[in-house]
Amino acid sequence: MVINISENRLEEQRVLMKFIDENQYKLYWEQGYLAIEQFWETEQADRVRESLRKVANKDFSIMLNVDRDEDLENQSPDSDVYDRKVASKLVREVQLNKRMAGVLGELYRREMVVVQSIIIYKEKGTLFADQAWNPHQDNSYVQSPNDMYIAVGYPLLEFSPENGGLYVYPGSHKEELLPMRPVEGARIKAGESPGNICEIPDQYEKKDISLNKGDVFIMHGNLIHGSYSNHSDMSRPFLITNYLPDGEFFLPGKTSNRQAISLK
């Protein structure tokens, strides 16, 4: 679903907005993403990054649902029990961040639930650093019928195209789910490119995204995007938390184990 921004609606939003301004609201719905600089303290980003490095598996592969201790244990059984509890608690705190709940509430005018968390390490020098995500729409995995799926990404270090950053196709979120070729996502093997490969309509142009530690990047679930390989000497850890308005349908996934968790 793409919200039609009318003057009356913007006037109504203007009265209600406390977490974003009118320009940010318009940018999100026009281009399908919104970057907010210095959204959280860099010290908090450091704590989350260091904690997630402690529970990484030996290959630094992508890990799902790092807010859940039992999922961490299944993916990294050799990690320390205490470290897993600390990491999952810190990620859950990020997911339940009241400011982010406010931002998403103002963008969608709905109460939100969080359904998943993902850490993409792109640790320098590892096989998984080479992984470049295919151009895809996140909603192709979740199949939200009202196109309400949202990804919120937190760079835990600076990232750019040089160390495996993102690219997007601004405005492509206005499309429905596009024809695509299914490809494994987070569970794919090293050396292969993850992400359902979707067709890219000719009218959209690719744009590279650079972010700093402490920023946040919010993406509409239908926005076409992907990422580059990391051949640099700098890691590119990226924590992603996924949201939907409460009550919206989503596929839990065969291995993703998505679950609706209230932000209250």
Q: Give me the half-sphere count of Cα atoms (radius 13 Å) on the Cβ side of residue 88.
A: 20
Q: What is the pLDDT of residue 9?
A: 53
- How far apart CA 122 and CA 161 sit, in angstroms, is 12
Amino acid 256: pLDDT: 92
pLDDT in tens, 36-84: 999 999 999 999 999 999 999 999 999 999 999 999 999 999 999 999 9
DSSP 200-214: --TT---EE--B-TT
Please give the pLDDT value at position 187.
76
CATH architecture under which domain 42-262 falls: Sandwich (2.60)
Report the pLDDT value the prediction gives residue 3, as an integer from 0 to 100: 52
pLDDT on residue 12: 57
Specify the pTM.
0.94
- Residues 132, 188 contacting (CB under 8 angstroms): no
Look at residue 2 in the predicted model and tell me its pLDDT. Answer: 53
* Residue linked to tokens 């679930």: 221
Q: Tell me, what's the pLDDT at 188? A: 78
Parts of the chain with a pLDDT under 70: 1-15
